[in-house]
Amino acid sequence: MQSVAEKQTPLTFQQLLFKLQTFWAERGCVLQQPYDVEVGAGTMSPDTFLRVLGPKPVRIAYAQPSRRPADGRYGENPNRLFRHTQFQVILKPPPVRIQEMYLESLEAIGIDLSEHDLKFEEDNWEWPVGGAWGVGWQVMLDGLEISQFTYFQQCGGMDLDPICGEITYGLERIAGFLQDVDSIYDIVWAVEPDTGRKVTYGDIRLPEEQQYSAYGFDYADVPKLWEHLNLYEAECLGLLEQAKSIVEMDELKKLRFPVLGAYELALKCSHLFNLLDARGAISVTERVGVMARIRTLVVGVAKAYAAQGEALAMPSREV
Amino acid sequence: MSEFLFEIGLEEIPARMIAAAEAELLRRTVALLERERLIPAGAAAKSFSTPRRLAVLIHHVAERQDDVAEELTGPATKIAFKDGAPGPAAIAFAKKAGIAVEELKVIQTPKGEYIAATTVKPGRTAAEVIAAELPKELSAIYWPKNMHWRPGRPSNPDRFVRPVRWLVALLGHAIVPVEFGGYTASDVTYGHRVLQGPAPVQVKSPASYAATLNEAFVMADVELRRHTIRKALDHVCRTIQSPAGCRWREDHALVDKLTHLTEWPSVIAGAFDPEYLTLPEEVLVTVMRDHQNYFAVEDKEGKLAAHFLAVLNTVPDERAAVTIQHGNARVLRARFNDARFFWEFDQRTPFAERVDLLENVTFQKDLGSYAVKSSRVVTVSGKLGAAVSGKGFAFHSEALLDAAKLAKVDLTCELVKEFTELQGIIGGLYARAAGLSETTAAAIYDQYTPASMEDRIPSTAEGCLLGIADRIDTIAGMFSLGLEPTGSKDPFALRRAANSIVKILADSQLPLTLSEVIAAASPSDEVAAKLKAFFAERLDFFLREAKGQAYDVVKAVLAVGADDPRDAVARAEAVSAVRSSDDFAAVSAAFKRMKNILAQAAEKSVAAAASVDDSLLTDPSEKALAEHSAILAGNVQRLRAAGDFKAALEAIATLRSQVDAFFEAVMVMAPEPEIRANRLALLQKVLADFSGIAEFSEIVTAG
């Protein structure tokens, strides 16, 4: 009986997250916490970008706050955010029923598909900086793009085997759709059960949007940003240089070699690039060059990660 | 005879790829069955497709191939048989042929007597052939982008557009166990994802395929779906109350896309706040069409109405229709809101002041910023303007230079960053909104047209000149850096840019030649020479591809002049118009002969006289040719000057009787040196007088 009432009240922002987490946990996904380094998309979290490499099966799901400085609008645009939230599901290898599972997840968050128009439209994904691409769709529900569905084919310039299925839900969009609000800031994030008071997305996040946008567009110190970028890059390159001899390392050193640390340094560079870009500090000419520098880091880390995995899988040569 | 049905079920195929793949599957299946002698040539066949399937239905498939009798020749009788008894060679041969020794026979060949065996190769059943061969045809289907989906590369060869999800193969009522992509065919298909759900659907016979799917909410026939969508668009449009008499804006490409995006289509109408109609129509239509797949609606006068039509992949009940309409309207409102935000935001910075911002936008690393490029384009525009003014062509010089200066300014606008496909157009709209002259605004608006050979050219002379100036600056700049197109590589789309220049010159009234266009960009001599050859190639391409002129006509026309596209087009059209007349063909052939004679004479160092000496013309036929051609030359000259190339060519064709008579009666290479030299001079003069329109010797004549 309670379910009838539930259906009539759309999910709050946090209920939406709970439902998706529960749905995918019940289908064998490990629920990971959001990654704690700035990323532009859930794909860049090592839980996707690195775990898709190699033969090991993976089922993992997590919400990932994603920062896109250029999309900041000082909190004044009802549809665009400096930082939005993606819910990312990674299934390697992809189950045969992956599309059906996805549709069931929509039902689970209160979307009765028989009352809506659903289309899978071609949308191939590419992250040149990561040497990564896949084919897939944008899922359109009543004209709204609610998810990205991708079959990863390559990552770090390497063919994936098995390939990986990735589903990315845009949480703010879906919540706005479910709650039928025109502004992201009007999304109900939570309701206090005792008072019935609604806490909105704007209550929680508006100051962040205002201040991050101002920082990104007006305050960020361009020479300092370049300096940070150069420092992170140099350290990452240093680690990648050492990673070249990973095969020769002893077992313990192999295990502890910080490829993951190198990846965080590469992510820092990527975020700094996005900040510089939003600040208008990168000319088109420079752009290509800086992107190539970051590609060297990201692809380098992916290769080192794969090499480390292989080296650890091999019997130690010192035995 | 049976019917054969094959269906491959896939996760949603990209809409843009479906039509070609459907046709290819049909072509391959028919060719396979014909090759295997399982269907007569021209057997009835039909194909189907939806986003989730490709299918073929083929009639009159034989149950099995006919047996084929084959005669195998063995060793010579004298080797195979000793004293009438079969030896080891005969036994081995019989074994190889699969028959008893007694069944061997003797045949006579030119090399003597041999033993032979008649064997019957039994025909395979259709099911065997299809199961063995069809998978190869499936793997060979071309997809613009493939993917892997099953583990085990590289040994697992599965590569297809999207994962395979089921196969149906029925020959009559029997399942053919075709294997592909990890599936073995059955008689089970699947219907509409939502309306039918995941429950399997059995196909009882090939002929019932379309009807079975129809019950499962899938309209498998593409043309039926297209027709349904068109009818529904018409119908739903009529339900719009206000403004009365609305029509949806015809858009073949969008109808096609939605036909391939749906299995069970219907149409709903939605509305938006008429306040958004204050935004430029170009922006509204782009949002609706390119971003949302909606059809725009216009009133009786063709003005955009505040409605849209959306094609759904479902047929909703009334309640669901309201929900879906509400959802689509909400998305559109958000998009329009964004566009309005950008439209207003951009205009807070005065348009003309944005010129300075172009310094931060790089055009090309070695060619500088767009600010630098714009100042170059101003210079080039000035030179082109001076060239046409010099020939008495009137236009607004100031408006052109303003447009050249401001043409790229919209690259700094948020709206262009959002709708890159509208660059130029948005610049024109902002220029108009900023109160610049209509001529300037229109030139900016049109700067990227024509985008293709089918596109129109800019509507004003200033727009044409700006379009030429911008493109020749880019082309000359890239060439000067050695970045010209090579082979199939043309990363900067310079060929397309040059095609557009040629098209503007050919289709406008601008009195401009290609060499004047090239000169306006002030290239070095070396680059200028390369550009000349590059544009000659483009003009050749334009005449053949855009104007449909025959290869030999294009060659003939360009041999006498490749600098003035409009003139070249007119000459080519005139040649094509007259080439089929007997007189013209005969004169062309005669001209070719004259050219050959002159070439041979030159080879033997036999010189022609400096001019024709009438007193040395001995034969009446050469006198007649000299006289008539002299009269005709003046005539042809006048017609050419008037641009009436067709009449000029028809006049030239009247020379046939004199030319024929001349070659009938006269031997050019006469023994007397002065007569010979004089005749050669006559031929030279005739050729010179009449070859100004085309090099007739290039025309391929029948026989």
pLDDT digits (tens, 9 = 90+) for A117-134: 999 999 999 999 999 999
The reported pLDDT for the residue numbered A285 is 57
Q: How does pLDDT run across B531-559, given as a tens digit for each residue?
A: 999 999 999 999 999 999 999 999 999 99
What tokens were used for B317? 């009940």
The reported pLDDT for the residue numbered A316 is 52
Which residues from A are below 8 Å from B491, CB to CB? none
Of A26-30, B117-121, B295-299, the range with the lowest mean pLDDT is: B117-121
Mean pLDDT of A155-176: 96
Q: How does pLDDT run across A47-58, given as a tens digit for each residue?
A: 999 999 999 999
Mean pLDDT of A146-166: 96
Mean pLDDT of A281-304: 87
Which residues from A are below 8 Å from B314, CB to CB? 116-118
What tokens were used for A210? 């205002």
Strand partners, A190: A199
pLDDT at position B502 over 90: yes
Residues of chain A within CATH 3.30.930.10 domain(s) are: 2-216
Mean pLDDT of A267-287: 86
CB B450 within 8 A of CB B504: yes
Q: Which residues in B78-98 are b (16+ Cβ under 10 Å) and which e? A: eebbeeeebeebbeebbeebe
- Which is nearest to B542 in space by CA: B462, B469, B457? B457
Give the CA dihedral A189, A192, A196, A201, nearest 10 degrees: -20
pLDDT at position B483 over 80: yes
CA distance A194 to B628: 112
Residues of chain A within CATH 1.20.58.180 domain(s) are: 221-313
pLDDT at position B81 over 80: yes
Q: How far is CA A118 from CA A54, A185, B213, B520, in A?
A: 34, 26, 19, 55
Q: How does pLDDT run across B165-203, given as a tens digit for each residue?
A: 999 999 999 999 999 999 999 999 999 999 999 999 999
How deeply is B420 buried, as exposed, middle or buried, from its count of CB atoms within 10 A (0-12, 13-18, 19+)? exposed
Mean pLDDT of B666-679: 88
Q: Which residue has the tokens 């030649």?
A: B513
Mean pLDDT of B591-606: 88
CA distance B200 to B165: 12
SS3 readout for chain A: CHHHHHHHCCCCHHHHHHHHHHHHHHCCCEECCCCCCCCCCHHHCHHHHCCCCCCCCEEEEEEEEEECHHHCCCCCCCCCCCEEEEEEEEEECCCCCHHHHHHHHHHHCCCCHHHCCEEEEECCEEEHHHCEEEEEEEEEECCEEEEEEEEEEEECCEEEEEEEEEEEEEHHHHHHHHHCCCCHHHCEEEECCCCCCEEEHHHHHHHHHHHHHHHHHHHCCHHHHHHHHHHHHHHHHHHHHHHCCHHHCCHHHHHHCCHHHHHHHHHHHHHHHHHHHHCCCCCHHHHHHHHHHHHHHHHHHHHHHHHHHHHHHCCCCCC
Cβ separation B149–A94 shorter than 8 A:
yes
CB B258 within 8 A of CB B293: yes
Q: Closest CB to A283: pick one of B314, B332, B360.
A: B360
Cβ separation A283–B362 shorter than 8 A:
yes
Q: Phi-psi bin for A75: left (phi > 0), alpha (psi -120 to 50), beta? A: left
What tokens were used for B544? 């053949």
Q: Which residue has the higher pLDDT, B579 or B310?
A: B310
- Which is nearest to B343 in space by CA: B273, B432, B463? B432
The reported pLDDT for the residue numbered A284 is 59
Q: How does pLDDT run across A178-229, given as a tens digit for each residue?
A: 999 999 999 999 999 999 999 999 999 999 999 999 999 999 999 999 999 9
CA distance B657 to B587: 9
pLDDT at position B499 over 80: yes
CA distance B693 to B570: 9
Residue B420 is classified by DSSP as G
pLDDT-derived band at B703 (thresholds 50, 70, 90) equals very low
Contacts of B335 (CB under 8 A, 6+ apart): B287, B291, B292
CB B442 within 8 A of CB B428: yes
Strand partners, A170: A86
Residue B395 is classified by DSSP as -
Of A222-231, B514-523, B661-670, the range with the lowest mean pLDDT is: B661-670
CB A304 within 8 A of CB A240: yes
pLDDT at position A314 over 80: no
Q: Which residues in A204-213 are b (16+ Cβ under 10 Å) and which e? A: ebbeebbebb
Angle at A156 between CA A150 and CA A157, to 5 degrees: 90
CATH T-level assignment (fold) for domain A2-216: BirA Bifunctional Protein; domain 2 (3.30.930)
CA distance B20 to B87: 60
Contacts of B48 (CB under 8 A, 6+ apart): B7, B22, B54, B55, B56, B57, B209, B210, B220, B221, B222
Sign of the torsion formed by the C-alpha atoms of B326, B328, B330 and B336 = negative
Residue B195 sits at the chain A interface (C-beta within 8 Å): yes
Which residues 56-115 on chain A approach chain B with CB closer than 8 angstroms? 77-80, 93-94, 96, 99-100, 103, 113-115
DSSP symbols for B641-668: HTT-HHHHHHHHHTTHHHHHHHHHH--S
Q: Is the peptide bond before A55 cis (omega within 30 degrees of 0)?
A: no
Q: How far is CA A175 from CA A183, A187, A199, B218, B508, in A?
A: 11, 7, 14, 31, 55
Q: Which residue has the higher pLDDT, B674 or B296?
A: B296
pLDDT-derived band at A163 (thresholds 50, 70, 90) equals very high
Q: How does pLDDT run across B564-587, given as a tens digit for each residue?
A: 999 999 999 999 999 888 888 888
Mean pLDDT of A288-312: 94
CB A51 within 8 A of CB A163: no
Backbone angles phi, psi at B37, to 5 degrees: 60, 40
Of A28-32, B159-163, B210-214, B489-493, the range with the lowest mean pLDDT is: B489-493
CA distance A212 to B271: 36
CATH T-level assignment (fold) for domain A221-313: Methane Monooxygenase Hydroxylase; Chain G, domain 1 (1.20.58)
Which residues from B are below 8 Å from A170, CB to CB? none
Mean pLDDT of B406-430: 92
What tokens were used for A44? 């860049």
Contacts of B564 (CB under 8 A, 6+ apart): B505, B513, B514
Mean pLDDT of B110-128: 90
Collapsing DSSP to helix, strand or coil, B358 comes out as helix
pLDDT at position B702 over 80: no
Q: At what angle do helices B551-559 and B525-541 cross, to 10 degrees?
A: 140
CA distance B96 to B75: 12
The reported pLDDT for the residue numbered A6 is 45
- What does pLDDT average to over chain B? 93
Collapsing DSSP to helix, strand or coil, B393 comes out as coil
- The most confident of the ranges A69-73, B108-112, B617-621 is A69-73
Which residues 198-217 on chain A approach chain B with CB closer than 8 angstroms? none
Cβ separation B313–A182 shorter than 8 A:
no
Quick count: other Cβ atoms within 10 Å of Cβ B36?
19
Q: Closest CB to B292: pick one of A100, A113, A143.
A: A143
Mean pLDDT of A248-259: 94
Which residues from B are below 8 Å from A77, CB to CB? 338, 341
List strand residue ranges (DSSP E) for B199-301, in order.
Answer: 200-202, 247-248, 266-271, 294-298
Q: At what angle do helices B15-35 and B126-140 cross, to 10 degrees?
A: 140
Which residues from B are below 8 Å from A101, CB to CB? none
Q: Which residue has the higher pLDDT, B208 or B42?
A: B208
Cβ separation A180–B310 shorter than 8 A:
no
Q: Closest CB to A79: pick one of B51, B261, B338.
A: B338
Mean pLDDT of B664-673: 87
Q: Which residue has the tokens 């099911």?
A: B127
The reported pLDDT for the residue numbered A4 is 43
Residue B54 is classified by DSSP as E
Pairing of strands A58-67, A30-31: parallel
pLDDT-derived band at B69 (thresholds 50, 70, 90) equals confident
- The CA-based diameter of chain A, rounded to the nearest angstrom, is 67
| Mutation site, A101, A106, A122, interface B, largest B CB count within 10 A | A122
The reported pLDDT for the residue numbered B616 is 87
Q: Phi-psi bin for B301: left (phi > 0), alpha (psi -120 to 50), beta? A: alpha
Mean pLDDT of A248-262: 95
CA distance B272 to B325: 11
CA distance B248 to B469: 38
ipTM: 0.94
Q: Which residues in B176-201 are b (16+ Cβ under 10 Å) and which e? A: bebebbeeebbbebbbbbbbbeeeeb
Mean pLDDT of A57-77: 95
Percent of chain B with pLDDT over 70: 99
Q: Which residue has the tokens 């539930």?
A: A6
Cβ separation B338–A115 shorter than 8 A:
no
Mean pLDDT of A52-69: 96
Mean pLDDT of B443-450: 96
Q: How far is CA B301 from CA B233, B240, B244, B298, B305, in A?
A: 19, 16, 11, 8, 10
Kind and range of the H or E run holding B184? strand B183-184
| Mutation site, B162, B217, B364, B366, interface A, largest A CB count within 10 A | B162
Alpha helices by DSSP H, B521-563: 525-541, 551-559
Amino acid at B403: A
Of A81-90, B151-160, B472-481, B560-569, the range with the lowest mean pLDDT is: B151-160
The reported pLDDT for the residue numbered B614 is 87
Q: Which residue has the tokens 């299925």?
A: A165
DSSP symbols for B627-640: HHHHHHHHHHHHHH
pLDDT-derived band at A279 (thresholds 50, 70, 90) equals confident
Mean pLDDT of B450-478: 95
pLDDT-derived band at A282 (thresholds 50, 70, 90) equals confident
